[in-house]
């Protein structure tokens, strides 16, 4: 198992119905600053400043994960 000393930003993609039920886990897509310009089919590119990001980043849509809600630390931005 890999442990890191930093917090990775993520995009939460989950229905509010599960949130209202106090569901113990959340569906996320990790966000990375390791930009891969040629991976348009697998990544969504975000420019610096979007979603309060401090640098250009990619949402890794091929790396969908389900994580325990205890791992979610803070809310950054929201859209509906």
- SS3 of 7-40: the string is CCCEEECCCHHHHHCCCCEEEEEEEECCCCCCCC
Q: Is residue 54 part of a domain?
A: yes
Would you give the DSSP letter of residue 1?
A: -
Q: Is residue 4 part of a domain?
A: no
Q: Is the pLDDT of residue 77 over 70?
A: no
Task: Give pLDDT, residue 37.
Answer: 86
Structural domain harbouring 53: 10-71
Q: Is residue 67 part of a domain?
A: yes
| Cβ(45)–Cβ(58) below 8 Å | yes
25-75, pLDDT tens digit by residue? 999 999 999 998 888 889 999 999 887 788 999 999 999 999 998 888 877
Domain count, the chain: 1
Q: Is the pLDDT of residue 80 over 60?
A: no
Q: Is residue 16 part of a domain?
A: yes
What span, in angstroms and rounded, lies between the C-alpha atoms of 48 and 54? 6
Q: Is residue 30 part of a domain?
A: yes
| Cβ(50)–Cβ(65) below 8 Å | no
Residues linked to residue 10 through DSSP beta bridges, in sequence order: 30
Q: Is residue 47 part of a domain?
A: yes
């Amino acid at each position: 198992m890999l442990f890191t000393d930093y917090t990775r930003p993520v995009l939460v993609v989950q229905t509010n119905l599960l949130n209202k039920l106090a569901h113990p886990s959340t569906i996320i897509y990790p966000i990375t600053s390791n930009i891969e310009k040629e991976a348009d089919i697998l990544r969504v590119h975000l420019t610096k400043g979007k979603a309060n990001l401090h640098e250009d980043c990619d949402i890794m849509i091929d790396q969908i994960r389900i994580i325990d809600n205890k791992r979610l630390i803070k809310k950054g931005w929201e859209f509906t």
